Amino acid sequence: MATEARSVEQIRKRLLTRRLELQQRGSRVGQDLSRQLDPLSSDAGDRAIQLENDESLHAIGEAAVSEIEDIDVALDRLERGYYGICKVCGDEIAPARLAAVPQASTCQECGRS
């Protein structure tokens, strides 16, 4: 039981660490988009490049938010004892998949569908 509790705590710590990284990334994206550190250039060409980069920043921000949501679900599943169990088919999620994507809530087969 102590080993299982240690393992659960390691998983929780890994998920929370990743969540914090994503929150920090989102904060940096928000700063960049609000032009706090780099105002829009007065040069039309440079301004166009900055605005094109905003599209990438939006995508990065949205990906961070989505991954945070997945991590929150994984943390909830961990607390409720369902972590590592596919929410679609009920089979165990392969340890290699959880090592690569600790917030995975589906097995690899169901994740493809």
Instruction: Please check the confidence at residue 15 and state whether its pLDDT lies above 80.
Output: yes
The pTM of the full predicted model, rounded to 2 decimals, is 0.81
Residue whose pair of structure tokens reads 């340890």 in the numeric block? 95
Q: How many CB atoms lie within 10 A of CB 64?
A: 20
- CB-CB contact of 25 with 64 (8 Å): yes
Q: Which pLDDT does position 40 carry in this prediction? A: 66
85: three-class secondary structure by DSSP: strand
Sign of CA dihedral 19, 23, 26, 28: negative
Q: How many CB atoms lie within 10 A of CB 77?
A: 16
The share of the chain scoring above pLDDT 70, in percent, equals 88
Instruction: Please check the confidence at residue 14 and state whether its pLDDT lies above 50.
Output: yes
62-113 pLDDT tens trace? 999 999 999 999 999 999 999 999 999 999 999 999 999 999 999 999 988 7
Q: Which pLDDT does position 113 carry in this prediction? A: 74
